Amino acid sequence: MNTPNKVIVIGQQPSSPWTNGGLSKSKSIERLNRWMSDCGITYFSFMNIMGDVNQKLPTLNDKTGIYVGCSGSRNYKIVALGNQVSKLLTDMGIKHFKLPHPSGRNRLLNDKSFEKNIIIQFANYLND
The chain-wide mean pLDDT, for the chain, equals 85
Which tens digits make up the pLDDT trace of 59-100?
888 888 888 888 766 678 999 999 999 999 999 999 999 999
Q: What is the CATH number of the domain that holds 79?
A: 3.40.470.10
- Structural domain contains residue 1: no
- Structural domain contains residue 16: yes
Range of the domain at 46: 7-127
The number of domains in the chain is: 1
- Structural domain contains residue 2: no
Say how far apart CA 66 and CA 44 lie, in whole Å. Answer: 15
Task: Output the DSSP codes for 68-127.
Answer: HHHTT-TT-EEEEESHHHHHHHHHTT---EEEPP--TT-GGGGSHHHHHHHHHHHHHHHH
pTM score of the predicted model: 0.84
